[in-house]
Structure 1
Amino acid sequence: MPDWSPTAYLRYTDERSRPFAELLARVPGRPATVVDLGCGPGHLTGRLRARWPDADVLGIDASPAMIERASADNTDPHVRYEIADLRDLARGRASVAGADLVLSNAALQWVPDHRRYLAPLAAAAAQTFAFQVPGNHDAPSHTLLREVAARAPYADVVGAVPRRATADPAEYLDLLAAPGWAVDAWETTYTHVLDGPDPVLRWIAATGAQPTLQALAAHDAAHGTALHAAFEAEYGAALRDAYPERSCGTPLAFRRVFVVATRVG
């Protein structure tokens, strides 16, 4: 998959940060070592250090651009960043074993068949494994993305856009519940009020739609076409119908699923 844009991702920092704060609020204890899986541009590391100021933090992300941005902004000697694939960590090829807290915020949904990696990642944590994933794979923002991308002429360039479905809290509970573990699983639907022109398009263009948009932009550069602009216009119009602007702004309902698994006994 093409690399991410830290600048685009950080456009809605406050809204994207709220689930991270809710996740941290449910993590017990005082971990001395923390591994942040899918740390992105490192903008939330400060919250980890504020919650546990004595902890050493390792941020891991598969995106070179994200790690470059996080490393450039880092001035904390107790924080470091590395490029790695979550699947390799779960398979033991790059070890995070022994960290008191292993957590992941809005990253596991990008890992194909992510459910199979949850138990190995939990096993790597000495105390707690915690994660949050979007649960809005069937929201209009995503169904319209798949629908528009399946039309000509885009489909021949981008192929089928995958439905990156995450599980419900009960399924995650079943996957991680085991002797010696206490699992807290829940969900929250946020209603973000976004401002400006085409705010839902700008929101999803930085995350869920980015692979599609980058594929179209690459095709345009190679073949002299204008598919990227045409797709944005068509998809943006559909999003405006699905998410109409109100006097307060444009509401965007966004469901998130949370899990905190802690060793007990």
Structure 2
Amino acid sequence: MTLWNPSVYLEFGSERLRPALDLMAQVPLETPKRIVDLGCGPGNVTALLQQRWPKAEVLGIDSSNEMLAQAKENHPEITWQQGDIAQWESSEPVDLIFSNACLHWLGDHESLFPRLLENLCDGGVLAVQMPNNFAAPTHQVIGDVLGHDHVLCPGFPVQEPEDYYNWLSDRTSRLEIWETRYRHILEGENPVADWTKGAALRPVLEGLNTQAEKEAFETAYRAKILEAYPKARDGKTLLAFQRFFLVAQK
């Protein structure tokens, strides 16, 4: 199991939060009664869901005990649950399943997404945001260092928009799919490498066998990323990062 470090993940908190807010703004529900934040991480997005719908019963679910510990400490008023999100099923239909930057870690989306819809009540909404930057240097440099056929390379876990449409269109009353390419302005010595260390690099570093292998990989990765994302004239770095969004109403 990958060990998540909440403080590293939240180092770029405002940039990581923006896609969640963009997704939340497109949820067509006024007064949902039951909300599940699937893959809630450290709970900062879950807390915003509770703020937007204060009368709703909100549940945050994550597989990481480290993330949930942070969530419980910062937001004790919300209900948190440890569990395998790949196998999650609700004991009763919910109004909103919200998942921000999580489901790309899981495979078999052709089965997963329709199954999640089954946990919604009539009129309920599945709202999903996933990173889709896997063709960019942030992810391709992993293969450049390890070899692109290495088992730890991330591959392309997010499918084409047309695939999600074909899987869900006949199961929903409303379906919206879009992609956004953000331009994050980052500060620091090698901020893009610091960004990926909080997410994409975690399973790679955990999967390497020895500390020497981890250090050698990270040194090579950071050097190549610094070359791929040079600083602008003012010393800041622009990170182009594409994300996939889906809002499906049952």
- Measured against the shorter chain, the TM-score band is over 0.9
For 1:257 and 1:179, how far apart are their aligned partners in 2? 20
What is the aligned partner in structure 2 of residue 223 from structure 1?
none
SS at match of 1:54: coil
What is the aligned partner in structure 1 of residue 56 from structure 2?
55
Which 5+ residue runs of structure 2 have no aligned equivalent? Answer: none
What is the aligned partner in structure 2 of residue 255 from structure 1?
242
Conserved? CA contact 1:168–1:257, under 8 Å: no
Deviation of 1:159 after TM superposition, in Å, equals 4.1
Taking a change above 3 Å as real, the CA distance of residues 41 and 183 of structure 1, as seen in their structure-2 partners, is: same
Overall identity of the aligned pairs, in %: 37
Q: Structure 1 residue 208 and structure 2 residue 214: aligned? A: no
Taking a change above 3 Å as real, the CA distance of residues 150 and 37 of structure 1, as seen in their structure-2 partners, is: same
Conserved? CA contact 2:107–2:157, under 8 Å: no
TM-score normalised per structure 2 = 0.92
Deviation of 1:213 after TM superposition, in Å, equals 1.5
Which 5+ residue runs of structure 1 have no aligned equivalent? Answer: 221-225
Deviation of 1:165 after TM superposition, in Å, equals 2.4
What is the aligned partner in structure 1 of residue 85 from structure 2?
86
Name the count of aligned residue pairs: 246
Output the amino acid matched with 1:130: A
Q: Supply the RMSD in Å over aligned alpha carbons.
A: 1.8
For 1:66 and 1:188, how far apart are their aligned partners in 2? 26
Conserved? CA contact 2:104–2:130, under 8 Å: yes
For 1:207 and 1:128, how far apart are their aligned partners in 2? 26
Deviation of 1:180 after TM superposition, in Å, equals 4.8
Cα deviation, 1:80-109, whole Å, max 9, x if unaligned, reads: 1101112211xx4xx254111011101000
For 1:180 and 1:246, how far apart are their aligned partners in 2? 45
Taking a change above 3 Å as real, the CA distance of residues 180 and 250 of structure 1, as seen in their structure-2 partners, is: closer
Conserved? CA contact 2:134–2:154, under 8 Å: no
Output the amino acid matched with 1:110: W
Which residues in structure 2 correspond to 1:212-251 (within 5 Å)?
212-216=204-208, 219-220=210-211, 226-248=212-234, 249-251=236-238
Deviation of 1:48 after TM superposition, in Å, equals 0.7
For 2:190 and 2:49, how far apart are their aligned partners in 1? 32
Conserved? CA contact 1:39–1:59, under 8 Å: yes
Q: Structure 1 residue 37 and structure 2 residue 38: aligned? A: yes
What is the aligned partner in structure 2 of residue 123 from structure 1?
118
What is the aligned partner in structure 1 of residue 3 from structure 2?
3
TM-score normalised per structure 1 = 0.87
Output the amino acid matched with 1:242: A
For 1:51 and 1:41, how far apart are their aligned partners in 2? 18
